[in-house]
């Protein structure tokens, strides 16, 4: 009997715990609120009779009430009345007098009579309304819905929560930009960084310089994919009138989003040079850029007209953008033209700029330009943001750094007392691939930042003092659109990674948990569905995990999904169906095979995962590297080269490893004496990514692992200026002989060649799959 009672108590405890959790869960959306406490009492019942109250003479809250009414109409199909006479019962009350030092904080309470959303400012109220909107959208569409009694206090971790959009490489309509801003609001992002000008197009009307949009906003044609020198023959372009800019800025402002314009200078200016050639060092022969990459043609800083031009542009932009910050670029500016330009050299002499151990005179010339523009903007009440290159040659005195190449520049900036915004390409470049299966993704610029990597991003680096930490004002994801042409593809690249970013910048780090996030995300995806956004569905598909078991000479493939439906797979190349083998444990691979797998239920089938595994004498054999790959492209180290998977031109998804400044040398242990006559290895070259092949390919063999005999050696040429990205199979064929060990040596080219915009810098060497037959 005693036993019986304790079981009953146990059961009761279970139920109450479960009950508690589900009540809390109702309000757990994305980003996760800082404090959610369910309280006792009956729930609030939202129905068509509920009224929305916003106080008299408060235009900000009135606007939020209108938004809320629209949101509820979309989520629940009911139209609520808005009133400014106080209502005691059945009302959603909007206020903005919550006492909190964080101006975007809010308090959200629900009880039987009222839901009260009270912000420290209207911005806070807006975020409370977003929370309500999201939980309604995540639930079934019902004209009557219970909101459990709760008390929520929430606030953002960072004051700067940014999303960027490049409209220069591919133009985006006003309509789409507004839709994009809606997305930002849905994810509690408060800053829209609008990249308006670049080599490939100038997108904002400047009345003093009409040719910028008559000429600079259009290009004759565009490079096809990554095929250097191949063009599509189709004109592309577009620009925003000043009226349209005002319209977008106001649209964002209503949603508590600040729009920061970027005029990228003094590089990335070919569109402007095509319109006004006298602003360049060469002075003629410019054409709006049709390809991607970095142009040597930049603004001539020895010409005073350049500064008149820039000041003229900013003078017209200042009234259009109320933002405190203006972004003035400063990235990827080759100094080649300035080195040869008499005007620039005269300017360098006049300013007394001298090369020192850290910086060239030309780098200091760029720094002079950035500081001069900063001074101009400071005088008009604006602060400047620049990409991290503006640290080179001395940073402009009050500039905020946008740290993109890594977080290192951000660390340097805050150590010098500057503010920093973290946007490292390693974690928050949404133009990068989001799946390792790059072959089934739309063509992307490269890179790899999947959802989990975005989520893992911590904007505050280790080792900063308390004061330095405060100078990291936030983080931002960037959406460069060289390879993103359509609105739908933009949404695909942004979603759901934006959901992960949202939590990085909003939720305190100690409350973040990836598994928990994924659970909430599966509900959050219903919002994308309801609002008809095109999002990437990887988390509902098959996600692979690869292992190389060198001890047993086999490959191990594990398949995962966050979908609740099971995975089915085949090994004979046929399409998986409900009749195929159901996945339950890792698949062992010890011969060449093609695996196809999908998440399948009665009424759903995910995209099919396909992976081809090759098998040869090197596959899954022990391999030792003489030099470690560079961190960023280390992946599975040497095992990456014997994992049966051949890398594609998507070079950063884990199929390739890269050396930087070091030579490649690998030794493979075949485990027994084998007859061999052919050794091959792939290398990848892509000049825009600083990737050049090896300068030599050598093969040596040995029976004891100590004494090696060379059997093959070939000298290789460095890539030429017009070579596109490509994979080369380096192959050694020799008279058949016996060997237990095979060594491959492939020394790196020390320097990027003279014709390149980064001439003299070290190169990367990418290598993949070694085959021995
Ligand atoms: Zn010049």
Has residue 344 got a pLDDT over 60? yes
Among 166, 198, 262, 491, the active-site one is: 198
User: Are 337 and 297 spatial neighbours (Cβ–Cβ below 8 Å)?
Assistant: yes
Among 100, 332, 339, 665, the active-site one is: 332
User: Which DSSP letter does residue 405 get?
Assistant: S
pLDDT digits (tens, 9 = 90+) for 63-112: 999 999 999 999 999 999 999 999 999 999 999 999 999 999 999 999 99
- Assign 22 a pLDDT band (cuts: 50, 70, 90): low
The rounded Å distance from CA 304 to ligand 1 centre is 10
The rounded Å distance from CA 361 to ligand 1 centre is 13
User: Are 279 and 309 spatial neighbours (Cβ–Cβ below 8 Å)?
Assistant: yes
| Confidence at residue 650, expressed as pLDDT on a 0 to 100 scale | 82
Has residue 264 got a pLDDT over 60? yes
What interhelical angle do 514-530 and 497-506 show, nearest 10? Answer: 120
The rounded Å distance from CA 211 to ligand 1 centre is 21
pLDDT digits (tens, 9 = 90+) for 580-612: 999 999 999 999 999 999 999 988 899 999 999
pLDDT digits (tens, 9 = 90+) for 157-188: 999 999 999 999 999 999 999 999 999 999 99
The rounded Å distance from CA 337 to ligand 1 centre is 6
Q: Distance between CA 292 and CA 199 in Å, rounded?
A: 9
Dihedral pair phi/psi, residue 608, rounded to 5°: -85, 130
Residue 485 annotated in active site:
no
pLDDT digits (tens, 9 = 90+) for 211-242: 999 999 999 999 999 888 899 999 999 999 99
| Confidence at residue 20, expressed as pLDDT on a 0 to 100 scale | 40
Q: Note every long-range contact of 569-574, with CB atoms under 8 Å and residues 24 or more positions apart, other chains counting.
A: 569/595, 569/596, 569/597, 569/598, 570/595, 570/596, 570/597, 571/595
The rounded Å distance from CA 620 to ligand 1 centre is 56
Q: Ramachandran region of residue 367, left (φ > 0), alpha (ψ -120 to 50) or beta?
A: alpha
pLDDT digits (tens, 9 = 90+) for 609-637: 999 999 999 999 999 999 999 988 998 99
Q: Which residues are registered as beta bridge partners of 110?
A: 115, 150
Residue 182 annotated in active site:
no
Coil, helix or strand at residue 219: strand
- Higher-pLDDT residue of 563, 701: 701
Environment of ion ligand 1 (residues, CB < 5 A): 281, 300, 302, 341, 343-344
CA angle 124, 129, 133 (to 5 degrees): 150
- Assign 396 a pLDDT band (cuts: 50, 70, 90): confident
- Assign 303 a pLDDT band (cuts: 50, 70, 90): very high
| Confidence at residue 12, expressed as pLDDT on a 0 to 100 scale | 42
Residues 6+ apart with CB under 8 A from 25: none
Among 268, 327, 427, 756, the active-site one is: 268
Q: Distance between CA 334 and CA 298 in Å, rounded?
A: 8
Task: Taking residues 466-471, report their average pLDDT.
Answer: 97
- Assign 265 a pLDDT band (cuts: 50, 70, 90): very high
Half-sphere exposure of 360 (CA within 13 A, CB side): 9
- Assign 58 a pLDDT band (cuts: 50, 70, 90): very high
The rounded Å distance from CA 341 to ligand 1 centre is 5
The rounded Å distance from CA 265 to ligand 1 centre is 14
Element (H, E) at 685: strand 664-685
The rounded Å distance from CA 300 to ligand 1 centre is 4
The rounded Å distance from CA 281 to ligand 1 centre is 4
| Confidence at residue 23, expressed as pLDDT on a 0 to 100 scale | 61
pLDDT digits (tens, 9 = 90+) for 665-724: 999 999 999 999 999 999 999 988 899 999 999 999 999 999 999 999 999 999 888 888
The rounded Å distance from CA 171 to ligand 1 centre is 30
Residue 418 annotated in active site:
no
| Confidence at residue 8, expressed as pLDDT on a 0 to 100 scale | 42
Q: If you write DSSP's letter for every residue of 106-161 in order, what string do you get?
A: EEEEE-SSEEEEEESSHHHHHHHHHHHHHHHHHS---SSEEE--EEEEE--S-SEE
Tell me the pLDDT of the chain averaged across its residues: 94
């Amino acid at each position: 009997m005693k036993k019986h009672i304790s079981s009953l108590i146990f059961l009761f405890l279970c139920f109450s715990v479960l009950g508690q959790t589900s009540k809390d869960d109702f309000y757990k959306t994305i980003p996760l609120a800082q404090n959610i406490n369910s309280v006792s009492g009956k729930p609030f019942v939202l129905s068509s009779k509920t009224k929305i109250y916003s106080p008299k003479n408060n235009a900000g809250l009135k606007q939020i009430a209108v938004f809320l009414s629209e949101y509820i109409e979309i989520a629940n199909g009911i139209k609520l009345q808005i009133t400014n006479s106080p209502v005691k019962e059945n009302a959603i009350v909007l206020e903005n007098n919550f006492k909190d030092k964080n101006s975007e904080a809010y308090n959200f309470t629900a009880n039987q009579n009222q839901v009260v959303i009270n912000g420290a400012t209207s911005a806070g109220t807006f975020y409370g309304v977003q929370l309500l909107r999201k939980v309604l959208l995540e639930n079934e569409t019902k004209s009557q819905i219970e909101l459990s009694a709760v008390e929520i206090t929430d606030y953002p971790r960072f004051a700067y929560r940014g999303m960027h959009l490049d409209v220069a490489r591919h133009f985006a309509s006003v309509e789409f930009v507004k839709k994009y801003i809606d997305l930002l609001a849905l994810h509690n992002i408060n800053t829209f960084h609008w990249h308006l000008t670049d080599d490939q197009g100038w997108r904002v009307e400047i009345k003093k310089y009409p040719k910028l949009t008559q000429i600079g906003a259009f290009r004759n044609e565009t490079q096809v994919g990554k095929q250097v020198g191949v063009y599509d023959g189709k004109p592309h372009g577009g620009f925003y009138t000043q009226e349209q800019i005002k319209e977008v800025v106001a649209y964002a402002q209503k949603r508590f989003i600040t729009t920061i314009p970027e005029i990228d200078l003094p590089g990335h200016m070919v569109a402007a040079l095509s319109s006004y050639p006298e602003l360049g060092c060469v002075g003629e022969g410019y054409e709006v850029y049709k390809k991607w990459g970095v142009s040597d043609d930049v603004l001539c800083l020895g010409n005073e007209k350049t500064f008149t031009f820039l000041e003229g542009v900013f003078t017209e932009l200042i009234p259009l953008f109320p933002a405190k910050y203006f972004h003035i670029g400063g990235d990827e500016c080759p100094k080649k033209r300035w080195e040869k330009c008499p005007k620039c050299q005269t300017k360098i002499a006049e300013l007394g700029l001298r090369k020192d151990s850290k910086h060239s005179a030309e780098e200091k010339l760029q720094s002079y330009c950035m500081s001069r523009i900063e001074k101009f903007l400071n005088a008009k009440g604006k602060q400047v943001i620049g990409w991290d290159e503006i640290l080179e040659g001395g940073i402009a005195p009050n500039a905020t750094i946008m740290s993109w190449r890594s977080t290192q520049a951000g660390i340097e900036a805050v150590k010098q007392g500057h503010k920093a915004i973290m946007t490292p390409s390693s974690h928050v470049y949404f133009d990068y691939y989001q799946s390792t299966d790059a072959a089934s993704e739309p063509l992307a610029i490269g890179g790899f930042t999947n959802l989990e990597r975005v989520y893992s991003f911590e904007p505050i680096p280790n080792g900063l003092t308390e004061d330095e930490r405060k100078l990291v004002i936030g983080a931002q994801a960037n959406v460069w659109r060289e390879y993103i042409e359509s609105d739908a593809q933009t949404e695909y690249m942004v979603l759901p990674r934006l959901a992960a970013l949202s939590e990085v910048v909003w939720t305190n780090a100690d409350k973040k948990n990836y598994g928990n996030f994924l659970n909430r995300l599966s509900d959050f995806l219903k919002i994308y569905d309801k609002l008809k956004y095109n999002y990437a569905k990887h988390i509902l598909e098959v996600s692979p995990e690869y292992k190389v078991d060198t001890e047993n000479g086999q490959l191990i493939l594990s398949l995962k999904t966050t979908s609740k439906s099971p995975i089915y797979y085949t090994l004979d190349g046929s399409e998986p169906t409900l009749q195929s083998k159901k996945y339950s444990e890792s698949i062992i691979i010890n011969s060449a095979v093609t695996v196809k797998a999908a998440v399948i239920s009665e009424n759903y089938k995910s995209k099919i995962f396909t992976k081809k595994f090759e098998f040869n004498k090197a596959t899954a054999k022990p391999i030792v590297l003489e030099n470690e790959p560079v961190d960023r492209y280390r992946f599975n180290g040497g095992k990456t080269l014997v994992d049966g998977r051949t890398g594609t031109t998507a070079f950063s998804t884990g199929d390739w490893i890269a050396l930087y400044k070091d030579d490649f040398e690998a030794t493979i242990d075949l485990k027994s004496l084998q007859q061999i006559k052919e050794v091959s290895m792939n290398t990848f070259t892509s000049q825009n990514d600083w990737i050049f092949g090896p300068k030599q390919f050598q093969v040596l063999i040995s029976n004891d692992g100590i004494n090696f005999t060379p059997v093959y050696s070939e000298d290789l040429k460095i890539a030429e200026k017009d070579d596109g990205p490509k994979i080369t199979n380096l192959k050694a064929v020799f008279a058949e002989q016996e060997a237990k060990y095979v060594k491959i040596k492939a020394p790196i080219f020390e320097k990027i060649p003279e014709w390149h915009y980064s001439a003299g810098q070290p190169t990367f060497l990418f290598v993949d799959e070694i085959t021995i037959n």
